[in-house]
Amino acid sequence: MQIQWFPGHMHKARVQIKETLPKVDLVIEVLDARIPYSSENPMLAELRGDKPCLKILNKADLADPELVKVWLKFFEQQKGIKARPTSTEDRGSIRQLTPLMSQMLPEKGEGKTITTMIAGIPNVGKSTIINILANKKVAKTGNEPAVTKGQQRINIGDGVTLLDTPGVLWPNVENIYSGYRLATIGSIKETAMDYADAAFFSAEFMLKHYHARLVERYGMETVPNTAMEFIEELGRKRGCLRKAGIVDIDRASKIFVTELRAGKLGALTLETPEMMVLEKAATIERIAAKEKEKAANAKKRKVAFKEKNKAKSRKRNR
């Protein structure tokens, strides 16, 4: 899994999706139920337009059941979208998707074929879902990027055909907080992330939403007030100490993130629809400010260039 996204990759994926979309009646977008917003692909919504979409909150076994409900409700309020939780722990939850696709397209009627495609960011479980739907191993699964070559048509029953496109998309990394959450669940290459950043960010969220689990897991006497206090206490409890009893923050952070990923802190979700709305607005503002700064710098450079040329011609005319 864990592909690094470069402009060339992104362009190629955009072209593939653009070419495939007109051939499909319905788009299946696989999300990670622990981070339904951060695991969305920002381009898919834009290219999909009004095409019906089935959002799958996969790995629901690892997510907070209450927050999964909140997210499902949130997505279903949007036009043309159905949302369902799925998990390999409950294969029935995946098999139920096929009849649901037929229900979503009643105009197709009896005997007609529905064509669909599955897209999503790396490691959300696309190949696993394709194999369960097809009831045979047609896609390679595991911690490897999807190496789908060419386009296969897979009949998954109930008149539904799956276009096996290389539907691997990039995550929502424009928002820095999404980056921390993607890093926390393991969707960002280890060499491209910092455990301490991910740990502090997630610890802060957990202190707000799941503080009892932190206290219990690490045998803390009281609830820490800040992420720093928590990481330091975890470090002391787990013997992550440098000389003179100073806590090794990096080691303590890595322990926390690794245990969180492995589900040792229980099933949890790291974001809510309210957070998403606020963060989206903040991201738009940040991008706009950056653009403004870029434009101002370009203007400054232009003025400086003109001044330089003027000075040159004055010198020449002297």
Site of interaction with ligand GTP (CB under 6 A): 1, 58-59, 61-62, 87-88, 120, 122-128, 141-143, 145-146, 168
Query: What does 124 bind: ligand GTP, Mg ion, none (CB cut-off 5 to 8 Å by kind)?
Result: ligand GTP
For residue 207, the minimal CB distance to ligand GTP (Å) is: 25
For residue 39, the minimal CB distance to ligand GTP (Å) is: 10
Query: What does 62 bind: Mg ion, ligand GTP, none (CB cut-off 5 to 8 Å by kind)?
Result: ligand GTP
Q: How many CA atoms lie within 13 A of 223 on its CB side?
A: 11
Q: Which two tokens stand for residue 2?
A: 């864990």
Nearer to ligand GTP, 126 or 251 (CB): 126
For residue 100, the minimal CB distance to ligand GTP (Å) is: 17
Q: Is 146 in the site for Mg ion (CB under 5 A)?
A: yes
The answer to whether 39 and 181 have CB atoms below 8 angstroms apart is: no
Query: What does 167 bind: ligand GTP, Mg ion, none (CB cut-off 5 to 8 Å by kind)?
Result: none
What does each C-alpha distance from 15 to 21, 153, 163, 272 come to in angstroms? 10, 19, 16, 31
Nearer to Mg ion, 34 or 126 (CB): 126
Label residues 269-296 b or e (16+ Cβ within 10 Å = b): bbbbeeebeebeeebeeeeeeeeeeeee
Supply angle C-alpha 65, 70, 75, rounded to 5.
120
For residue 149, the minimal CB distance to Mg ion (Å) is: 13
Using CB under 5 A, pick the residue from 127, 175, 187, 269 that binds Mg ion: 127
For residue 34, the minimal CB distance to ligand GTP (Å) is: 10
For residue 243, the minimal CB distance to ligand GTP (Å) is: 39
Nearer to ligand GTP, 146 or 162 (CB): 146
Sign of the C-alpha dihedral computed for residues 161, 53, 82 and 275 taken in this order = positive
Distance CA 208, CA 35 (A): 17
Query: For residues 87-126, which are near Mg ion according to CB under 5 A?
Result: 126
Residues counted in the chain = 318
The answer to whether 150 and 30 have CB atoms below 8 angstroms apart is: no
Beta-carbon count within 10 A of 137 CB? 10
Query: What does 88 bind: Mg ion, ligand GTP, none (CB cut-off 5 to 8 Å by kind)?
Result: ligand GTP
Nearer to Mg ion, 167 or 224 (CB): 167
Query: What does 122 bind: Mg ion, ligand GTP, none (CB cut-off 5 to 8 Å by kind)?
Result: ligand GTP
Nearer to ligand GTP, 59 or 82 (CB): 59
For residue 125, the minimal CB distance to ligand GTP (Å) is: 3
Token pair 């470069």 in the structure block, residue: 6
The answer to whether 196 and 183 have CB atoms below 8 angstroms apart is: no
Nearer to ligand GTP, 1 or 215 (CB): 1
Q: Identify which of 5, 18, 75 has the alpha carbon closest to the alpha carbon of residue 272.
A: 75
Nearer to ligand GTP, 33 or 255 (CB): 33
Q: Which amino acid is at 217?
A: R
Q: Which residues bind Mg ion (CB under 5 A)?
A: 126-127, 146
